[in-house]
Structure 1
Amino acid sequence: MATEITVGMAGAAGDGLDRTGDTLARTAARLGLHLFTYNSYQSLIRGGHTWLRLRLSEEKVDNHGDHLNVLVALNQDGIERHAREVEAGGAII
């Protein structure tokens, strides 16, 4: 594994990003990785934009970082809002 990776996930409220991010964070912690998570969501029951950033590292981390290695976008809005944050050589899924 690279020393550090930052994953962003974007979609609509109700798509399950909160649960997915929680599962990834718990799994990483159980594997002994250090992590920092940040999420943002609109106060809508369904349909508003939801955003999660998960930074994983073998070393301690104290912020969410300033770029993404991977963006997982569940809709076009997520790509339009966050594609510019993906570093050169990164991936958009």
Structure 2
Amino acid sequence: MKIVKIPIEMIACFSEKGIPHPLKFKINKTGDGPPTIVKVNMIIHMESEKTAGNPMYVFRCQSTIDDVLKVYEIKYELSTCKWFVYKI
């Protein structure tokens, strides 16, 4: 997987404990043209980590993107409430 760290717009639901569960997101990979909407088909693995002192949730997910089944990582920063595609 290649590290890209692209900010995304995410639709997620949260558990009663405040843990997010990603459902689908909008990504603009090229910068121009219409964004791609990706539905999260499966969450393979979820963990929490600290990067440079910032607590984050890391999700390894699987989806069909452009008719190809892909595994990727998305991160949720707790301090800023921002989502990123980290590896794809």
TM-score above 0.5, yes or no: no
Structure with a larger share of its residues in helix? 1
**TM-score, normalization by structure 1:** 0.30
**TM-score, normalization by structure 2:** 0.31
Structure with a larger share of its residues in strand? 2
